[in-house]
């Protein structure tokens, strides 16, 4: 399998201290396609802040990896297109210690877990998106695919931190995941919530795997309210934001331009129709639908209100970690999370915003659970 | 079949018949699944556009180095004399 879209000429043989980038993250002077014909000839004019930070820390970037077009395919399982993250495959094969990518749909996380890897999703707004090809603004976040959580959290310590070039950065603080201290729970054991309503027939198996591997933890039963609405709310919000974001691709300032046109309108329409693939077209049409006058209130506005209900229903006062079989809740609510393999399934562990240290201390010294 | 020509125009796309038929089918299915939202009462709940509680932050009004004209034009599909080149917009 050829994972690389662009390979840099380095003397590094790969492995430790090496990273690869999903092809939506910019490295100055080299192509960034986001997997789209639209950006086939686009040369990055800047370095992404995350890339600058990695290189300053002595990490060698080996290249850019193949991805689904703008990473949007994961939103539409019904299209049955095969997802393929070159970044996950490369880390699984030991080409690099870790990879950076923007997994706003959660599809790459699941793919990584199926390959025996971890995906670290940082708290929304703690890693700069400057130099990331935008897709879904309220969920775009650079995360880390890794084989070892020690390496993964070390990388997170390097790339996180305030950057005034990203308008959603939250605080002028660096997540010191490299030196996270063991958690102290004088009053209770570590409480992991396994909501029965989202683990159908594999609750017992997941529960026993967690107890066996994490040792002395308390399994808490909470209910994840509105879980039946995660998929439609994700689809509505992602399509609305995605269609808005890709309106910049008009064949004028950058990106693909059709060869034959007779008017400006035709230039726009033909350039987009010829360059975008099926999933992107579906997302653009769905975005137009949910934002249209007839559907805005019933779909887009309503989805945003339900998103608030979902976030407010999280019961972090009753548990330290919430486990779920899917990563989408962490994207909707901006929660830090680790998705990992667990007894033949993918499991996502989420914590309260900014509490990556909980996941780090609980998981990093352990083998796959 | 769901009529999607209006959405095509909004999204600046012009699909061929095969794509139109295939995507209309998916859009119809997705639209149906969205009816699940109707069951939730959201009166009095504010929309959550983005998760962080963002505040407007103003920077100091200090000139900064931006990309040069040449750098910006480097990725333009067509350019002329230091400008983006576009087809005529007035008849």
Q: Quote ipTM for the complex.
A: 0.93
pLDDT at A88 over 50: yes
Q: What is the mean pLDDT of residues A315-329?
A: 94
Give the whole-angstrom CA distance, residue A352 versus residue A55: 30
Instruction: Band the pLDDT of A28: cuts 50, 70, 90.
Output: very high
- Min Cα–Cα distance to chain A from B32, Å: 10
pTM confidence score: 0.94
Element (H, E) at A219: strand A217-220
DSSP state of A269: H
Q: What is the mean pLDDT of residues A86-91?
A: 95
- Which tens digit of pLDDT belongs to each residue from A113-144? 999 999 999 999 999 999 999 999 999 999 99
- The dihedral sign for the CA sequence A33, A38, A44, A49: negative
N- to C-terminal Cα distance for chain B?
38
pLDDT of residue A283: 98
Q: Which of A101, A103, A148 is nearest to A5 (CA)?
A: A101
Q: Reduced to 3 states, what is the DSSP secondary structure of residue A312?
A: helix
> What integer best gives the mean pLDDT of chain B?
91
> What integer best gives the mean pLDDT of chain A?
91
Instruction: Band the pLDDT of A365: cuts 50, 70, 90.
Output: low
Chain B CB contacts of A333 below 8 Å: 51
pLDDT of residue A366: 58
- Which tens digit of pLDDT belongs to each residue from A143-182? 999 999 999 999 999 999 999 889 888 655 445 555 555 5
Give the whole-angstrom CA distance, residue A38 versus residue A23: 13
Are A191 and A154 a contacting pair, CB within 8 Å?
no
Give the whole-angstrom CA distance, residue A333 versus residue A104: 12
Produce one character per residue of A207-233: b if its CB has 16 or more CB atoms within 10 Å, e if not.
Answer: bebbeeebeebebbebebbbbebbbbb
Of the given ranges (A164-173, A234-243, A350-359), which has the lowest mean pLDDT?
A164-173
pLDDT at A91 over 80: yes
Chain B CB contacts of A235 below 8 Å: 30, 33-34
Q: Which residues lie below 8 Å from residue A32, measured CB to CB, with a gap of 6+?
A: A23, A24, A25, A26, A39, A42, A43, A44, A64, A133
pLDDT of residue A344: 85
Q: What is the mean pLDDT of residues A299-317?
A: 96
Superfamily of the domain at A4-183: Amidase signature (AS) domain (3.90.1300.10)
Instruction: Band the pLDDT of A368: cuts 50, 70, 90.
Output: very low
Chain A CB contacts of B30 below 8 Å: 76, 78, 232, 235, 286
Of the given ranges (A82-86, A246-250, A335-339, B30-34), which has the lowest mean pLDDT?
A82-86
Give the whole-angstrom CA distance, residue A70 versus residue B3: 26
Whether the CB of B51 is below 8 Å from some CB of chain A: the reply is: yes
What interhelical angle do A49-56 and A149-159 show, nearest 10?
A: 110
What are the residue boundaries of the structural domains of chain A, listed by start?
4-183
A121 Rama class: left (phi>0) / alpha (psi -120 to 50) / beta: beta
Residue A88, CA distances (Å) to A36, A112, A143, B18 in order: 19, 5, 12, 33
pLDDT of residue A209: 85
Whether the CB of B40 is below 8 Å from some CB of chain A: the reply is: yes
């Amino acid at each position: 399998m050829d994972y690389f879209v662009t390979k840099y000429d380095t003397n590094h043989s790969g492995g430790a201290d090496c990273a690869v980038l999903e092809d939506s993250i910019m490295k100055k002077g080299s192509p960034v396609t986001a997997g789209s014909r639209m950006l086939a000839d686009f040369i990055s004019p800047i370095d992404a802040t995350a890339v600058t930070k990695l290189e300053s820390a002595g990490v060698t970037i080996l290249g850019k990896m193949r991805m689904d077009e703008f990473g949007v395919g994961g939103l539409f399982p019904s299209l049955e297109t095969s997802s393929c993250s070159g970044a996950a495959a490369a880390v699984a094969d030991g080409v690099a210690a870790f990879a950076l990518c923007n997994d706003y749909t959660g599809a790459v996380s699941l793919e990584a877990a199926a390959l025996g890897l971890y995906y670290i999703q940082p708290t929304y707004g703690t890693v700069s998106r400057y130099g990331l090809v935008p897709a879904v603004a309220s969920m775009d976040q650079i995360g880390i695919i890794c084989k070892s959580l020690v390496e993964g959290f070390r990388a997170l310590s390097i790339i996180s931190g305030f950057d005034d070039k990203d308008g959603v950065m939250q605080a002028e603080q660096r997540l010191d995941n490299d030196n996270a201290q063991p958690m102290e729970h004088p009053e209770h054991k570590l409480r992991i919530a396994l909501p029965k309503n989202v683990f159908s027939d594999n609750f017992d198996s997941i529960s026993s795997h967690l107890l066996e591997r994490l040792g002395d933890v308390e399994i808490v039963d909470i209910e994840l309210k509105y879980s039946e609405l995660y998929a439609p709310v994700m689809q509505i919000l992602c399509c609305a934001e995605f269609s808005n974001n890709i309106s910049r691709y008009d064949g004028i300032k950058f990106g693909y331009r059709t060869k034959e046109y007779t008017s400006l309108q035709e230039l726009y329409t033909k350039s987009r129709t010829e360059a975008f693939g099926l999933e992107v077209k579906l997302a653009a049409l769905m975005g137009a639908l949910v934002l249209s006058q007839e559907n805005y209130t019933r779909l887009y506005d309503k989805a945003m209100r339900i998103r608030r209900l979902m976030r407010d229903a999280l019961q972090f006062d009753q548990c330290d970690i919430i486990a779920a079989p899917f990563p989408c809740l962490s994207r909707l609510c901006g929660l830090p999370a680790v998705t990992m393999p667990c007894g033949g399934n993918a499991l996502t562990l989420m914590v309260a915003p900014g509490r990556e240290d909980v996941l780090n201390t609980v998981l990093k010294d352990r083998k796959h659970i | 079949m769901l009529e999607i020509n209006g959405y095509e125009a909004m999204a600046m796309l012009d699909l061929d018949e095969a794509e139109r038929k295939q995507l209309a089918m998916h859009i119809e299915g997705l639209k149906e699944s969205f009816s699940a939202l109707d069951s939730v009462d959201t009166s009095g709940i504010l929309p959550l556009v983005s998760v962080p509680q963002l505040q407007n932050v103003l920077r100091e009004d200090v000139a900064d180095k931006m990309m040069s004209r040449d750098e910006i034009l480097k990725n333009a599909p067509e350019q002329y004399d230091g400008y983006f080149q576009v087809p005529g917009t007035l008849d």
